[in-house]
Amino acid sequence: MRVFHLLGQSEDHGGILSVIRGLQQATEGAGVEHVVWVRQGYEERRGPSLNYRVTRHLVSDSPSHWELLVGAWRSRVELDALRRAEAFDVLHAHSRGGFLLAWWLAAAGKENVLFTNHSFARRTWMYRAAARSGHFYSVVLTPSMRRHYQLDGGRVRTIPACVADSFFEGSLVTRPGQKQGRIRLVGVGNVVRWKNWHLVVQAMSGLPESLRSKLEFEHWGPVPEDGDAPVYARELEEMTDRLGLRECVRWRGPTREVRGKLEAADWFVLPSTDEPCSVALMESLAMALPVIASASGGNVDLVRPGRTGMLFAPERVEDLTRILEQVAQGRVTLESAAMLRESVWDKRASAVGESYLRLYRELATGGGGQR
């Protein structure tokens, strides 16, 4: 079976590509070949390697709705030409541009098209309208996302993002309080404004010096080459300097060794609002690293407050500061390391891959079933 992922990504950084890589590893023994449609100029910078085809027109995301619409419309001709040259059994769309293309293909009524939604979009009506197309099948990542879009029916499935099985192997991370020196907080993810990394800086600044001296925060992740991300990265550096936090807040840049960074930490921090289903968060829990995250989006389905981590009110710096105070004072008691890993056991790539494999087979045979 050959699955063609309609993506249009221009850079290789986490997110959707991490999910596709997980699916590739999980289904490689089932005779599934995954092919990914990316933009011209894309360079693979992470592993394992994927099989690519190149599009000139499809755009994964853009602040310009016009660019997304025109790119998706023009990419139809490219897709037709590509499919005359090689066969694919399933078209699996991702990203906002991929969604528009999938909707048009489904509306044409010739074949089933699958779309996995990786974001909390504001124009929910579009996704409900697409879901009513007879050949359009939707996957959302969490129950919160399903409620957000008000989606229901047999052509809508809830299948989470996935964590490589390797994160569930080996020893568990040593729990906070058992290490010497400062308590180490780590953030992993792109340096983009919606991730709200500035909240961590502001919360650290709000701590009394006696408590701040017990904590340190390190961030690992790339700065995408779009217009705002470099600006935001500079703002974070300037804020860190202005607030005198260089001794306890560090921006480390991209890494290929996410597992090693998590192993060296005591807590994982994710301050973004409406995070869909963070792979890095699930990787942390799989290694028994507790989580501090905003109480929004998929986080509320993944983190059990007071058991596997702590949730703070979205966008509320003072609430994040309160949690950091409790962490610094050693006043947080959670479940065992084994229970933290168990909380995301069903998110491992092998389990998620089985769910997609069943859906791929149904779509490839013209079904889709009722669920």
**For residues 243-255, average pLDDT:** 96
Write down the mean pLDDT value for the chain: 92
Q: What is the pLDDT, as a whole number, of residue 180?
A: 57
Note the CATH number of domain 166-346.
Answer: 3.40.50.2000
∠ CA 315-317-323, nearest 5°, is: 110
CATH topology of domain 2-162+348-364: Rossmann fold (3.40.50)
pLDDT in tens, 74-89: 999 999 999 999 999 9
pLDDT in tens, 4-47: 999 999 988 878 998 999 899 899 889 999 999 999 999 998 88
Answer yes or no: same fold for 2-162+348-364 and 166-346: yes
Q: What is the pLDDT, as a whole number, of residue 225?
A: 83
Q: What is the pLDDT, as a whole number, of residue 134?
A: 87
Q: What is the pLDDT, as a whole number, of residue 175?
A: 56
371 has pLDDT over 70 = no
Domain ranges in the chain are: 2-162+348-364, 166-346
Q: What is the pLDDT, as a whole number, of residue 71?
A: 95
267: β partners? 185
CB 328 within 8 A of CB 292: no
pLDDT in tens, 169-212: 877 876 555 455 799 999 999 999 999 999 999 999 999 999 99
Q: What is the pLDDT, as a whole number, of residue 56?
A: 96
**For residues 102-116, average pLDDT:** 92
**Which carries the bigger pLDDT value, residue 225 or residue 76?**
76
Distance CA 230, CA 35 (A): 30
Distance of CA 215 to the CA centre of its chain: 26
pLDDT in tens, 294-344: 999 999 999 999 999 999 999 999 999 999 999 999 999 999 999 999 999
Q: What is the pLDDT, as a whole number, of residue 310?
A: 98
Q: Is 288 exposed, middle or buried (0-12, 13-18, 19+ CB in 10 A)?
A: buried
- At 149, is the pLDDT very low, low, confident or very high (cuts 50, 70, 90)? very high
Q: What is the pLDDT, as a whole number, of residue 369?
A: 43
Q: What is the pLDDT, as a whole number, of residue 154?
A: 80
For the chain, percent of residues with pLDDT exceeding 90: 83
pLDDT in tens, 121-143: 999 999 999 998 889 999 999 99
**For residues 242-251, average pLDDT:** 97
Q: What is the pLDDT, as a whole number, of residue 370?
A: 38
294: β partners? 312
**For residues 59-83, average pLDDT:** 94
Least Cα distance to 67 among 125, 10, 148 occurs for 10
Q: HEC string of the chain?
A: CEEEEEEEECCCCCCHHHHHHHHHHHHHHHCCEEEEEEECCCCCCCCCCCEEEEECCCCCCCCCHHHHHHHHHHHHHHHHHHHHHCCCCEEEECHHHHHHHHHHHHHCCCCCEEEECCCCCCCHHHHHHHHCCCCEEEEECCHHHHHHHCCCCCCEEECCCCECHHHHCCCCCCCCCCCCCCEEEEEECCCCHHHCHHHHHHHHHCCCHHHHCCEEEEEECCCCCCCCHHHHHHHHHHHHHHCCCCCCEEEEECCCCHHHHHHCCCEEEECCCCCCCCHHHHHHHHCCCCEEEECCCCHHHHCCECCCEEEECCCCHHHHHHHHHHHHCCCCCCCCHHHHHHCCHHHEHHHHHHHHHHHHHHHHCCCCCCC
277 has pLDDT over 70 = yes
